Amino acid sequence: MADLDRLERDARARRTRANSHLSRLRNRGRVEEVQRPARRRVALVALAVGAVFGTCASEVWIRAGGGVETIAVRGAQRLTPREVAAATGIPRGAALSEVDTDAVASTLETHAWIEEAKATRLPGGRVVIEVVERLPLAQLAVGPRRFAIDSQGDAFAELREDEATELPRLVAKEPPQAGAPDLLRVEAAGLAARMPELGLAAPEEIRIAPADDPEGVSLRLPGLAPMVVLGRESLDERLRGLAELLEARRDEASRARIIDLRFEDQAVLRSAATRDGSRDAALTGGGAPHGTRSSG
């Protein structure tokens, strides 16, 4: 009996231990089932918080001052990205927090070829530069030098030897002053495109006189020896008069040194001997010479 009692006690103890172990396993399983979704929720929350605080951290990092590693340039055609980056005045490795984007844009707009500029700071040490370049309307040649002329007639930059050779070519005796617009240059630059409509060949040369010279615009046409003087006013009207003159009296006009169209309803033909006191010939359509009056 004693042995039986001992065996029963041992069996009960084993059952108790087994039930206790099974209970622990079951409890652990319930905990795992509860905790797994909890961990997933924590992970999702962490990602969301990281996204929010990542943006804030970038802003804090910018304000705290990270080095400028990259200057990205958009919109440049004539200028290279390196030239635009150099024009910003931002040294490599400068603190991003110290980059004044308004000041950078203002500095860029002092560059001859940049009309508008915008600067933006981005995380990662990047500064993005957006530029709008000035577009040349014509080229102004002064001896071997050439200058770009914009839509206001301002000679805003000197051109390289092989640059913008396709633009209408204007010629002047004196170098232009930057920041001094001249609308006569703009009007003269458009003559080459308008002349074929009047039956005239595009000019080989368009001369622009100094501001105080009443000759204004003068043309050298292919196949025509004399220089054609248009003045400063009514250029299209005077070109129509030139077309009529060449159609009716081309041979006579071709023998002149200068065809001066600055006079109302007539062309004045100046010969090579005019400086010696010979008389100018004034033609009104096919008419004979008569007195003239300049209209500028």
Q: What CATH number is given to the structural domain containing 109?
A: 3.10.20.310
Domain that holds residue 251: 138-283
Q: Left (φ > 0), alpha (ψ -120 to 50) or beta: where does 148 sit?
A: beta
Asked if residue 246 and residue 146 are part of one domain, the reply reads: yes
Mean pLDDT of 187-212: 90
The structure tokens listed for 160 are 């390289």
Average pLDDT, the chain: 77
Asked if residue 183 and residue 232 are part of one domain, the reply reads: yes
Does residue 16 fall inside a structural domain?
A: no
Asked if residue 270 and residue 251 are part of one domain, the reply reads: yes
Angle made by CA atoms 282, 285, 289, in degrees to the nearest 5: 25
Does residue 54 fall inside a structural domain?
A: no
Does residue 84 fall inside a structural domain?
A: yes
Asked if residue 260 and residue 142 are part of one domain, the reply reads: yes
Does residue 169 fall inside a structural domain?
A: yes
Instruction: Give the model's confidence band at 32: pLDDT under 50 very low, under 70 low, under 90 confident, else very high.
Output: very low
Positive/negative CA dihedral, 56, 61, 64, 68: negative
d(CA 276, CA 270): 11
Asked if residue 242 and residue 196 are part of one domain, the reply reads: yes
Asked if residue 124 and residue 254 are part of one domain, the reply reads: no
Q: Which residue has the higher pLDDT, 10 or 58?
A: 10
Domain end residue (candidates: 106, 133, 160)? 133
Asked if residue 267 and residue 214 are part of one domain, the reply reads: yes
CATH number at residue 189: 3.40.50
Query: Which of 219, 190, 215 is closest to 204 using CA atoms?
Result: 219
Query: Which of 142, 157, 158, 210 is closest to 182 using CA atoms?
Result: 210
In this prediction, residue 19 carries a pLDDT of: 53
Percent of the chain with pLDDT over 90: 52
Question: Are 237 and 228 a contacting pair, CB within 8 Å?
Answer: no
In this prediction, residue 179 carries a pLDDT of: 85
Could you give the number of structural domains in the chain?
Answer: 2
Residue-wise pLDDT tens digits, 66-75: 688 889 999 9
Q: Is the pLDDT of residue 118 over 90?
A: yes
Q: Which residue has the higher pLDDT, 19 or 173?
A: 173
Asked if residue 75 and residue 199 are part of one domain, the reply reads: no
DSSP 110-141: TSTTEEEEEEEEETTTEEEEEEEEPPP-EEEE
Asked if residue 238 and residue 200 are part of one domain, the reply reads: yes
Mean pLDDT of 57-78: 68
Q: Is the pLDDT of residue 52 over 80?
A: no
Does residue 127 fall inside a structural domain?
A: yes
> Does the global pTM surpass 0.85?
no
Asked if residue 168 and residue 92 are part of one domain, the reply reads: no
d(CA 225, CA 257): 7
Instruction: Give the model's confidence band at 117: pLDDT under 50 very low, under 70 low, under 90 confident, else very high.
Output: very high
d(CA 263, CA 267): 7
Question: Are 139 and 149 a contacting pair, CB within 8 Å?
Answer: yes
Query: Which of 122, 107, 181 is closest to 149 using CA atoms?
Result: 181
Q: Is the pLDDT of residue 278 over 90?
A: no
In this prediction, residue 12 carries a pLDDT of: 58
Asked if residue 177 and residue 91 are part of one domain, the reply reads: no
In this prediction, residue 36 carries a pLDDT of: 32
DSSP 8-state symbol, 178: T
Asked if residue 277 and residue 155 are part of one domain, the reply reads: yes
